[in-house]
């Protein structure tokens, strides 16, 4: 398995690591719900992301056009997506953070199936404490119903 990773450059491995970290964090994301002044962590029963859900990400694209291009590459292959996202970060069309940041979902822009047959969504996101100005766009896997 590790021989497979030796074929990739350091930057490709870094982008793959960041991508898979986001996917894993999205899979284990939980929401905090209030019930009779008791706080508990619970997996959301919603199938899709909805407005004001909290999402965590390492990478955010700044324009809808850019994220649509990323999604198109995501329907082709993971390698294409990795290379394209790296290029978009280098061009300043996407931002890569040193650690994952929380954002608030503003709207689901598009649903599509990626190259690995996962249902993926393009989300417009805001800062946690802002409702008026969208911060950017990202791709998330559909939430599980469990």
Q: 74: domain range?
A: 2-141
pLDDT at 121: 95
Mean pLDDT, the chain, rounded, equals 77
Q: Are 13 and 73 a contacting pair, CB within 8 Å? A: no
Convert the pLDDT of each residue in 65-81 to its tens digit: 999 999 999 999 999 99
CA–centroid distance for 119 within its chain: 12
pTM assigned to the model:
0.66
**pLDDT tier at 129, thresholds 50, 70, 90:** confident
Mean per-residue pLDDT, 23-42: 37
**Domain presence at residue 130:** yes
**Domain presence at residue 14:** yes
**Domain presence at residue 75:** yes
pLDDT at 119: 94
Mean per-residue pLDDT, 21-32: 44
pLDDT at 117: 92
Least confident of 1-5, 64-68, 97-101, 122-126: 1-5
Instruction: Pick the closest to residue 142 from 112, 116, 115 (CA basis).
Output: 112
**Domain presence at residue 146:** no
**Domain presence at residue 21:** yes
CA angle 65/68/73 to nearest 5° reads 130
Distance (Å, whole) CA 41 – CA 136: 27
Q: Are 112 and 35 a contacting pair, CB within 8 Å? A: no
Cα distances (angstroms) measured from residue 118 to each of 12, 124, 133, 143: 22, 19, 30, 11
Mean per-residue pLDDT, 89-105: 95
In this model, does residue 14 exceed pLDDT 90?
A: no
**pLDDT tier at 131, thresholds 50, 70, 90:** confident
CA angle 51/53/57 to nearest 5° reads 115
Overall domain count for the chain: 1
Mean per-residue pLDDT, 32-57: 56
**Domain presence at residue 115:** yes
**Domain presence at residue 50:** yes
Q: What are the structure tokens assigned to 138, written together?
A: 């990202």
**Domain presence at residue 43:** yes
Distance (Å, whole) CA 23 – CA 57: 9
């Amino acid at each position: 398995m590790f021989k497979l990773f030796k074929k990739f450059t350091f930057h490709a491995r870094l982008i793959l690591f960041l991508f898979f970290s986001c996917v894993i964090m999205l899979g284990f994301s939980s929401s905090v719900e209030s019930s009779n002044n008791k706080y508990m962590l619970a997996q959301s029963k919603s199938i899709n992301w909805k407005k004001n859900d909290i999402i965590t990400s390492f990478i955010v694209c700044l324009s809808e056009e850019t994220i649509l291009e990323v999604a198109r590459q995501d329907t082709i292959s993971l390698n294409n997506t990795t290379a394209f996202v790296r290029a978009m970060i280098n061009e300043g069309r996407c931002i890569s953070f040193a650690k994952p940041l929380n954002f608030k979902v503003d709207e689901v822009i598009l649903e599509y199936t990626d190259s690995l047959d996962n249902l993926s969504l393009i989300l417009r996101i805001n800062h946690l404490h802002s409702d008026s100005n969208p911060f950017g766009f990202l791709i998330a896997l559909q939430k599980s119903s469990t």
